[in-house]
Chain A
Amino acid sequence: MNETPKNGLWTPDQPMVSIKDVHKSFGPLEVLKGISFDVMKGEVICIIGPSGSGKSTLIRCINALNDIQKGSIKVEGIEVNDPDLDKLELRKKVGMVFQQYNLFPHKTALENVMMAPIHVLKQDKADVEQRAYRLIKKVRLEGKETSYPGELSGGQQQRVAIARSLAMNPDVMLFDEVTAALDPETVKEVLVTIQELAEDGMTCILVTHEMGFARELANHIYFTDRGVIVEHGPPASFFAEAKDPRTQEFLSQIL
């Protein structure tokens, strides 16, 4: 292969998401100072760390909600740090769920799930509707199809948001502190939904404070502080043998 196409030829044996030496600044404030890691297909990655450490910024960079100043982010071979990036192509592959759910308040739960496939992918409405019913069922919200977001609890809204992302058939899901705004009882229902997704083989990148969840489900945990990855590893060794004092301090506070 002497002439690689612009977006490369991605094969499933290569990292699905490949992050190399990513630098990101907001004005004079450098938030990410050279972050690198790879995510393989089907992996569940948890990014943890104190607030302000750049976790959310990092995963927002993966679907180009934030741009980066230096480095490379590749999603299935698509270079995100490229002025000619086809954002639609990228966002078809990457689904994102937010801390504040961010549902469209003027549409019912079902319509929220149906909107993007119809508007963005121009898919047939009847097909999309069938799929949307299935997705609503998958996130255990049967019977809530015609409810508006304002009539749903936080946990229910978050599950609609997950279904909404899944409707686009993404290959990677990004979860940005999706349980941080929920009360403890509803955290669980959202985590179960994500767990089922992971078990179905969905590639997931989560920014989270749910250590129990990370320990149980993550293939790999990254601890970030002040814009760098301080320590990382599979959960068993990460929690048992954290070496860096910053990691130890963080874990002692949170566990």
Chain B
Amino acid sequence: MLDLLTPFFRRLYDETGWNFVIFYEQYEWDRFVAAIWVSLELIVASLFFSLVVGIVGAWLQGSPIRAVRLFMSGYIQFFRNTPPYVQLLFFFFVLGNFTPKVDMGGYYEPMITSFGWAVISLSFFAGAFNVEIFRAGIEAVPESTREAAESLGYSRLMAYVYVILPLAFRVCLPSLNNNLVNLLKTTTQAYAIAVPEMLYTLNQVWSDNVNVPEMMIILFVYYVGLVAVLVWGMHRWERKMKIPGYG
């Protein structure tokens, strides 16, 4: 792959001074490819767990137990009303201090890596919004539909899984789409705790090579592309979920 790119980008640098070093030096290329994987893993893991948090949270929010509902609203208040950047630092530096360290054969490493903390922190951050998004969707499902399920013998959980959630999903996909796009972009803040994702890596590259504008272009193009893929996927999903004669 790199072999194909090298001649063009080396010539570009020689002739114009535009230094896309990641495309013609093996060492920088490897860093770049590694960053793609880390950022993709970070994004996929955060998206996934934020959805889990949202679905479970919306379920808990409807709990008949008051303490559970209070806990949920406390959780949402905390994560919605504080900056994700601060949350990330808090999770890594404060909570990270209290997690046990594991013996890696002579040296010790914290049980949860900075990558792990980024996933946890970002999932709970976006999850808080997802809870509210799902709640809106759930409230849009008529009470009578719930009653129909109930009168057929469905328990609260079964009605949630088989009837309410599938209908709620359709209502809240557009706002879910927005929040997930936001989450995707917010993953770059994992930079703050040295997760070697794209921003962190390209920052190292431009510090070594003094090519800030070029690497900035790469960053923009990279995220424009990623968001486009996510949005494309979400729209496809929306179309697939469309029910004939409904909504």
Contacts and interface: CB of A to CB of B under 8 A. Distances in A.
Contacts of A105: 145, 167, 243, 245-247
Contacts of A63: 151
Given A98-B144, A106-B167, A120 B154 contact: yes
> A interface, how many residues as a size bin?
20 to 34
B151 A65 contact: yes
Interface in B86-108: none
B147 interface: yes
Contacts of B145: 102, 104-105
B162 interface: yes
Contacts, number: 75
Contact of B144 (A100, A119, A151): A100
Interface in B149-172: 149-155, 158, 162-163, 166-167, 170
Interface residues of B, number: 23
Q: Which of A100, A104, A149, A164 gathers the greatest number of chain B CB atoms within 10 Å?
A: A104
A115 interface: yes
Given A100-B144, A102-B145, A120-B158, A150 B150 contact: no
Contacts of A148: 243-246
B160 to A, nearest CB: 12
A91 B152 contact: yes
B147 A98 contact: yes
A110 B21 CA distance: 61
Contacts of A85: none
Interface of B: 142, 144-145, 147-155, 158, 162-163, 166-167, 170, 243-247
Given A91-B150, A105-B167, 4 more contacts: A87-B150, A105-B245, A105-B247, A119-B158
26 contacts: A63-B151, A65-B147, A65-B150, A87-B153, A88-B153, A88-B155, A96-B151, A98-B148, A102-B142, A104-B145, A104-B148, A105-B246, A106-B166, A106-B246, A116-B152, A116-B154, A119-B158, A119-B162, A120-B152, A121-B153, A148-B243, A148-B245, A150-B244, A150-B246, A152-B245, A165-B152
